[in-house]
Amino acid sequence: MKALSVTELTLQIKKQLETGFASLLVQGEISNIKLQSSGHYYFTLKDPSSQISAVLFKGQTRHLSRAPKEGDKVVVQGELSVYAPRGNYQLIVKSIDFLGVGTLLLKLHALKEKLQLQGLFDPSQKKAIPKFPKTIGVVTSPTGAVIQDILQILERRAKGFHLILNPVKVQGEGAAEEIAKAIDQFNQHNLCDVMIVGRGGGSLEDLWAFNEEIVVRAIASSKIPVISAVGHETDISLSDFAADLRAPTPSAAAEICTAEKVQQQAFLQRSTSQLQFAIQSKLQTAKRQLKTFQRHPYLTSSSHILSSRWQDIDEIRQKADQTLHSFIMQKKFHLDAKKEQTLLLNPVHQITIFKKKFDLFDKSIGNALKNKINTHKKNVLAANLQKRIDQSMWTTLQSKNQSLQRLLAHLTALNPKNLLTKGYCILFSEKKDSVILHAKDTTLNQKLCILMQDGELEVEVQKKPCQTTLQ
């Protein structure tokens, strides 16, 4: 066998305990009660031989009719819970009923569970409350506060309504039977569309008839939808669970019956003002538009309609004037032209013109003649001048030619070769590159060349100056 850890064991215990004791009613006496600053109550619930710790969390305290205190004998409703960090178990208290009425409460809870199991409180079986009940049935005391509260609300909220009261005893001997019978009577004769069953506030004993099985069954089986209004808002009876709707107070029940009517009245009122607003704004817009139209220039003065027409007419007139004018001008121009032509065709005028032309012609002929004569004159003069120039040129050329001839003769006379014809000769060195002018420029036995008139001679120096012989 495997060893469990403490946590595993605790978790298993927690699971078993918390599922096994999920919904409990426990009777006992409160002791050791402490209110923590968090608003939670911690206490021990005990009887002569046992005790168990219990917690009442802050959230649940507001359902209590009063704060729990030391020594209170109570029946608590709640569940078991294991607090693992400390390894202890405790009651998580959901609600507390203070005893005195303890036995009644136990009876109540037992009956509730029984009826619940039989499906009397099944939400799916709840009927809808009609929106516009024509007749409202009320099962309550004719002398109690409930019928008065209901009538007050109905009179204030609905102008016309039909209420049928089925008067019953709401507490004491036979009350439950009477209430159940009244509910059946409404159903049997189909006397109303919705039924309010209830009574004013009181102790648990006072309200007890509405926890009786016969009443709860009558409500649950009613074909007519039932609104329960039992006691104050904090009192909850089994009738409330069985009813199709629980109203916290009788006034609230009446309000529920007329809610839709009131809403629709409000809608109608709203509609009226909305419609009025819509139509008025529409009319105002239309009026404004109309005013704008009325203020339009077309409507305020006739000239605005006609002005453009007037303008059109003016323009047409102007155009007509212009056309006419230009037509006349054109004709006038043509006339002038014709006039001029006729004037020109007048013989006197023509003669004058011809005369003018003639004069002009005459003048130009004279001018031309003069020009011609002048040209000829110039030509003759030029010809004379040419002759003279030619002559002087000829003379100059002649004299130049003569002097050139003389110079040429002179030059011919000066040619050394001409001298050769007169018996002179020229002595060259053997290589004929230089003329020898002086005897001293020769050497003994030097071969020399002599140029003669008709050819060359080769000679040799035999003797030097002082011997002055030449061979």
- Which residues touch 134 (CB under 8 Å, ≥6 apart)? 162, 193
Report in angstroms how near the CB of residue 234 gets to another protein at its nearest.
22
- Which residues touch 424 (CB under 8 Å, ≥6 apart)? 416
Report in angstroms how near the CB of residue 204 gets to another protein at its nearest.
18
Judged by beta carbon, residue 60 or residue 222, the one nearer another protein is: 222
Beta carbons within 10 angstroms of residue 164's beta carbon: 14
- The rounded distance, in Å, linking the Cα atoms of 168 and 227 is 16
Report in angstroms how near the CB of residue 167 gets to another protein at its nearest.
6
The contact set with another protein (CB under 8 A) reads 132, 134, 141-144, 147-148, 151, 155, 158-170, 172, 178, 181-182, 185, 189, 191, 261, 264-265, 268, 271-272, 274-275, 278-279, 282-283, 286
Structure tokens at 464: 């030097």
99, with CB counted inside 10 A (0-12, 13-18, 19+), is middle
Pairing type for strands 73-83 and 24-35 reads: antiparallel
The string of DSSP letters for 407-434 reads HHHHHHHT-HHHHHTTT--EEEETTSSS
Report in angstroms how near the CB of residue 199 gets to another protein at its nearest.
10
Judged by beta carbon, residue 3 or residue 268, the one nearer another protein is: 268
- The rounded distance, in Å, linking the Cα atoms of 302 and 305 is 5
Per the DSSP assignment, residues forming a β-bridge with 457 are 450
Report in angstroms how near the CB of residue 85 gets to another protein at its nearest.
57
Judged by beta carbon, residue 45 or residue 150, the one nearer another protein is: 150
Judged by beta carbon, residue 264 or residue 398, the one nearer another protein is: 264
Structure tokens at 120: 């009397």
Judged by beta carbon, residue 185 or residue 446, the one nearer another protein is: 185
Report in angstroms how near the CB of residue 260 gets to another protein at its nearest.
10
Judged by beta carbon, residue 127 or residue 181, the one nearer another protein is: 181
Half-sphere exposure of 373 (CA within 13 A, CB side): 6
Q: Supply φ then ψ for residue 255, to 5 degrees.
A: -65, -40
Helix, strand or coil, per DSSP, at residue 446:
coil
Judged by beta carbon, residue 168 or residue 230, the one nearer another protein is: 168
Helix then strand count (H, E) for the chain reads: 12, 13
For residue 53, the surrounding DSSP H or E stretch is strand 51-56
Report in angstroms how near the CB of residue 217 gets to another protein at its nearest.
18
- The rounded distance, in Å, linking the Cα atoms of 68 and 76 is 11
Judged by beta carbon, residue 9 or residue 275, the one nearer another protein is: 275
Report in angstroms how near the CB of residue 209 gets to another protein at its nearest.
13
